[in-house]
Each structure stands twice: as C-alpha cells, then as structure tokens.
Structure 1
Amino acid sequence: MKKIITLFAIIGLVAFSSCEGPEGPEGPPGYDGLPGPPGFVSKVMEIRNKDFAYNNVDGFYMSGVFNPLIGDASTILIYRLVGTIDASTPIWQLIPVNISLTNNREVYYDYDFSKEDFKIYVRANYDLETTAGDFLDNQTFRIVIIPGAFTGKSVNKPDFSDYNEVIKKYNIDDSKVKELN
C-alpha cells in the first residue's frame, strides 16, 4: 500500500509541476547600468580654447546647452584644464575653485546648470582684464554628466575632485569626448 501511495504522490508531483498557466503581463522597463532616465548614460563634453564673454548681469561667463536634455535628478561636474604633465596627461581641477594669487588677489570659477543648459562664471577681487590671458582667454573645460534618480538610498560616491576617479566610477569613455562650440 505504501508503494502505491508513493507512486501516486510522484505522478501527482510531476503532473502539477509541469502545468503551465497563461503568461502574465510584461513588467515595467528597467534601467540599464546606473540609475537615471532610461537609456541615459554618463558622458563627457568639452569646451576647448574658448574665451569668456562679458555682460553687465553675469560678468565674465561662457554657456552651453544640453542636447538631449539631462534628467531631472542628474548632475554635472565641471573641470578646468590647469596644465599638463605631458602631451597625453592633462591636469583637471574641479570647479568651483578659488585661486589665490600674489598681492591678495583672488580668482573664482563657479557654474550653475539646469536640465537644459549650463553657465560657467569667473570673478575676481581685481580687474580680471589685466590678466585676461591667464583666466579669461583660451580656457578649456570638461563637463561630466552623471545620471541620477530620486531615491532615498545612499550611493557610494567617488571623490568628485579627482576627474580620473569620477570617470572610472561611472564607466565613462573619455576618449570619445564631444566638443561643444
């Protein structure tokens, strides 16, 4: 009798486990890679050898637009080229930054951004036009776009002041930098 019950149990188990019902609905699309808008990836853009413009409202500035727009929770980091170690090793400095000069003179770089555009500013506690070539003319900046999402989770962030660490953390291929005009 035990053998018959065991046989029925095995047959029942096989029969029920091989049953298949109707397929459920497709789930919502997920995110690939880092959090952010679907399909959006981190990227780097560059402003190369550009002079700052001037107006009475903003002072010395340069600006650009994002095409396509960046996500609502995304952020940008802007780095200024301050020199090179050799032909293939640039030195990038995260802005905002305050640069102290001799005779108590200071130069300050800063920026603001929205999901549509950005603006970089430079100010000083003296007449910047007396040192225009050093701080206003032929400036190069890297703009790093980092996708984000509005979550309550704590994210392991890199040291943003280290350009190379940021590039590595967000898997950015900076050999394909898009140049902005």
Structure 2
Amino acid sequence: MKNIAVVFGAFLTLFFVSCEGDPGPPGFDGLDGPQGPAGPAAGQVIDIFGDFAADSNYGFFYSFQDDGIEVLETDVVLVYLSFDQVEDNNGEPVDIWRLLPQTRLLDQGILQYNYEHDFFRVDIFLESDFDLSTLEPGDTDNQKFRIAILPADFVQTAKLDKSNIGSVMSSLGISEKDVPKIRTN
C-alpha cells in the first residue's frame, strides 16, 4: 500500500510540473476605485520665544490656534530647549537642543524646565526647590523653545530618536529654514 502511495505521489508531481504552455493574453485594466482616506497629517515644527517672570508664575504658553495649527488629541507634542549655541565651520550659530523636561543643578538648587500640553496649547514652566526670583536673566529671559507636533501614526511607524530634534525634523522632511519663529510674550 505504501508503494502505491509513493508511485501515485510521484505521478501527481510529474503531472503538475509538466503542465506548461502559453500564458494567454494579459487581462484588461480595471476601473480606479474610490479615493481613500487622507494619510496622516504632516508634522509641524515651530520655534517660540518667551520670558519666565514672577507675574506669570515663571511660565508662559503658546496657543496652537493662534497660528492655525491643528493638533489632534492623539498627536505627540515634544518641546525642546535651546540649551546652548555653537558656531559651525562657516562661523554661523547652531543651536544645541535638549528635550524637555530638562534639569539643571545650580548653586541655589535644582531647576527644571518642563511643559504640559493638550490639543489647544502648550504650557512651558519652571519648577525648582528654591526661590525662582534668584535666577539670573540668562535662565529666564528670551528663552527659545522648539515645538514638534507629530501625528500619532508617524510616531508609531517611524524609527525615531525623539531626543534628537535633528532626527525628528529629518524624518518629517523639515529643514531649519522652514521653522517659523514666534514671540509669545
């Protein structure tokens, strides 16, 4: 019985392998289907400048709607602090960015630049274990932040180093010249 099964299997294999012939004419193109839903919105990057002052409880905010930026509840909002500036080979200034929250150890104690957001606005504020009025103007005045708004789908599919703003901008196809500059207060 085993031999019959082996012979029958070999015969079937020969039969299927030996089937060859003209492939026939190509088929006709079908009609285009309906337009699919739009893909994820492109991410956006903006620079904002602001001052941390006692009368605003050492914080300030940026409203996305002021500039017509739509942020969905599922979007990822990242905020970076321009921590330092160096010169490139041409003598041009280059910002060194750090992802918030960012903690600094000062003579007075621990200072943290932090933020929170919803889909209407982003609040950037200082937190510390000492009296913030003792801060130097370099820590509070004309501070520059970069806000990156990333669609949730993009963040889930892209291999993204969120701590590196250069990587984020490159993944979004945004160059430095494309980043709008906005004064908040």
Find the aligned partners of 2:28 and 2:163 in 1 and give their Cα distance. 58
Q: What's the counterpart of residue 73 of structure 1?
A: 74
Find the aligned partners of 2:178 and 2:99 in 1 and give their Cα distance. 20
Alpha carbons 2:54, 2:133 under 8 Å: kept: no
Alpha carbons 1:81, 1:90 under 8 Å: kept: yes
Q: What's the counterpart of residue 177 of structure 1?
A: 179
Find the aligned partners of 1:169 and 1:19 in 2 and give their Cα distance. 39
SS at match of 1:165: helix
- The alpha-carbon distance between structure 1 residues 99 and 24, as it changes in their structure 2 partners (threshold 3 A), is same
Listed as ranges, the gaps of 5+ residues in structure 2 are 1-21
What is the aligned counterpart of 1:129 among 115, 130, 133?
133
SS at match of 1:102: coil
Aligned letter for 1:59?
N
Q: What's the counterpart of residue 51 of structure 2?
A: 51
Q: Which has the higher strand share?
A: 1
Q: What's the counterpart of residue 100 of structure 2?
A: 95
Q: What's the counterpart of residue 86 of structure 2?
A: 85
Alignment of 1:155-170 (within 5 A): 155-170=157-172
Q: Which has the larger radius of gyration?
A: 2
Q: How many Å apart are 1:68 and its aligned residue?
A: 2.6
Find the aligned partners of 1:137 and 1:94 in 2 and give their Cα distance. 19
Alignment of 1:2-151 (within 5 A): 23=31, 26-31=34-39, 36=40, 40-48=41-49, 50-54=50-54, 59-66=57-64, 67-86=68-87, 87-102=92-107, 105-149=109-153
Listed as ranges, the gaps of 5+ residues in structure 1 are 1-9
Q: Which has the higher helix share?
A: 2
- The alpha-carbon distance between structure 1 residues 141 and 20, as it changes in their structure 2 partners (threshold 3 A), is closer
Alpha carbons 1:44, 1:174 under 8 Å: kept: no
Aligned letter for 1:90?
D
Alpha carbons 1:43, 1:173 under 8 Å: kept: no
What is the count of residue pairs matched by the alignment?
A: 155
Q: How many Å apart are 1:149 and its aligned residue?
A: 3.3
Taking every aligned residue pair, what percent have the same amino acid on both sides? Answer: 23
Q: How many Å apart are 1:121 and its aligned residue?
A: 1.0
Q: What's the counterpart of residue 7 of structure 1?
A: none
Find the aligned partners of 1:18 and 1:101 in 2 and give their Cα distance. 74
Q: How many Å apart are 1:18 and its aligned residue?
A: 6.0
Q: Provide, for residues 79-136 of structure 1, a one-character-per-residue CA deviation record: whole Å limited to 9, x for no partner.
A: 1111111133111111011111236x11011111111111011111111111141322
Find the aligned partners of 1:20 and 1:140 in 2 and give their Cα distance. 55
Find the aligned partners of 2:29 and 2:83 in 1 and give their Cα distance. 65
Task: Give the structure-2-normalised TM-score.
Answer: 0.71
SS at match of 1:112: strand
Task: Give the structure-1-normalised TM-score.
Answer: 0.72
